[in-house]
Amino acid sequence: MAITTKGVLDWILYEKAGSDHCRLIEFIKQFIEGKKNKLILMDNASCHRNQEVKDFIIKSKNDFLYILPYYHYMNPIEKFFNQ
């Protein structure tokens, strides 16, 4: 799920298996294409910490930051699910 300060940007649901780094890169591509100097805030899911994901974001001239582990107050998705 992609969330901005204005609300949910987009989401995707996979019928089989969970997210992996390849699916994450494809998901991120649709939002950062043509954009630079954006900050992507991610939780600590293993697919988010994958080196290929990190390299893709850096190569796109954007940056990423991880929220603190197990700190739900900093996780924007918690606000979405609590509505």
Question: Is the torsion defined by CA of 35, 48, 24, 5 positive or negative?
Answer: negative
| Extents of the domains making up the chain | 2-81
- pLDDT tens, 5-60? 777 777 776 666 666 888 889 888 888 888 899 898 888 888 889 999 999 999 99
E strand or H helix at 25, and its extent? helix 21-32
58-80 pLDDT tens trace: 999 999 999 877 666 666 666 66
Does an H or E element contain 57, and which?
helix 51-59
Most distant CA pair in the chain: distance in Å? 35
In angstroms, the CA 68 to CA 30 distance is: 26
Write down the pLDDT at residue 3: 72
Q: What share of the chain is helix, strand, coil (3-state, %, to 5)?
A: 35, 20, 45
Rounded Cα distance, 25 and 47, in Å: 9
